A = this chain, B = another copy of it.
């Protein structure tokens, strides 16, 4: 068997390694148009920021080690220019010599990845405007930033890579401005969670501009002027463009392979393209989302690696293993915070017409009595009838990745929120509480489903009706420090003495700091004959984050 693989990083290299383990006798050749293979794309921002200082660490395997360890030939600076699916041949250009030749295959794998989007703005090609995808991109940015450590960096795009770059350039000592066209950073998240992160970014002294559009660039003597739609231009020493990527489908398209609705390479559940001898993996493909059934692209290293393994199995053993699809579990460190998402955001469920409930809770990362506990926020989206978990987002300072992983695994196997209540976590004081934040999130969701709790949301506070009341059930000290305008103070511990006063209102809207005391108040009122009662999801904490 002769396998050719196009692209020698996450998806391609993983396919190759597994192929060799599955078939010691096969001929395997990897083609890579760049000069580097098997490198840690995800580490690039951190090398620029001098968090990683040894550049060699970024290379997991090399051309030499692929050869020695796996008996795999790797051809770098070798761009595949076309695929002849009828003859089962590819045409390759050696970028060093300019020479072009063909190579035949039994099975071909495409893992060409995705390319950063460069919008056709005036001045987009000026010196000092960078995108970050490859090792040479990284080297260029690092070299350019070297003598501008006290300069001004403008990051265009507040997505995952944009925020990583913002943090890393800040870490180098630069002044950092982030320009984001949307009304929040991290588009895959819902607003309340993104708002927490925004607060944190600003607390670090970064200039974060939301709903702000770049219209073009002008050359300066020592940098670039960034022109904005509704604001003064900004003079930057370096500009990082990170507004997203798109699947690299040039080869596939030219070869007549089918593309999907979201312009990625279309593959079946065995990761086989419309040509049965050609498989494809990684950022370049699209695949049905297990929650919505809609085909979409996933730009993540974990799925690319796992697809490589499955693809190799299917080529060697003949379509034996189905790829289950990705629920887009993603995480990012933003200074001292960590934030992540898995499954579907509420806004995307809404856009897809999928009925769902939303609940936000805030809990300590571990037992409050043990030093170092930090508050974390969990938002769940779940189906109203079955309680199936559809999405989860977590933001906080510690143990965020732990809860996100757990929620991802629950979503992936189509579990319900009831499983979260039973989840038997490992508890000792440094690691959690007797009830883990995930248990708490589950309890609250279960109470909602059981009709034991009904909620209203941060963006509904202002719509509280004239004949209703908004009550703050925290202590009077907390209320006096800060409260939602218009709220009256009724501490939960005194509530039972004030029931009659409250009966004059047609509806009671409760909030506390995080939702817990509000829930206790809710239970008291509902069981004391009050009909219309609601508790603010996420409490004052969420409301405040959204109003900052």
Contact = CB atoms under 8 A, between A and B. Distances in A.
Contact of A57 (B21, B40, B368): B368
B413 A523 contact: no
A405 B408 contact: no
A244 interface: no
A326 B422 CA distance: 9
A446 to B, nearest CB: 10
B57 A369 contact: yes
B423 A412 contact: yes
A527 B23 contact: yes
A458 interface: no
Contacts of A302: 424-425, 427, 434-436, 439
Given A329-B425, A331-B427, A369 B52 contact: yes
A384 interface: no
Interface stretch (A203-211, A220-228, A332-340): A332-340
Nearest to A443: B309
A467 interface: no
A428 B24 contact: no
A425 B428 CA distance: 23
Contacts of A304: 434
Interface string A303-325: 11110010000000000000010
B368 A431 contact: no
Contacts of A404: 426
A394 to B, nearest CB: 9
Interface in A1-52: 10, 20-21, 23-25, 40, 42-43, 46, 51-52
Contacts of A333: 428, 430-431
A496 interface: yes
A523 B519 CA distance: 58
Interface in A508-526: 519-520, 523-524
Nearest to A412: B424
A331 B436 CA distance: 14
Contacts of A436: 302, 405
B426 A405 contact: yes
Contacts of A371: 51-52
A547 B431 CA distance: 30
A320 to B, nearest CB: 10
A520 B401 contact: no
A541 interface: no
11 contacts: A21-B523, A68-B493, A300-B427, A301-B434, A302-B436, A305-B435, A324-B422, A327-B424, A338-B431, A399-B401, A408-B426
Given A329-B426, A330-B426, A406-B406, 19 more contacts: A20-B523, A23-B527, A24-B528, A40-B369, A42-B428, A51-B370, A52-B370, A69-B492, A71-B496, A160-B428, A301-B434, A304-B434, A326-B424, A333-B428, A401-B426, A405-B423, A405-B425, A409-B409, A413-B415
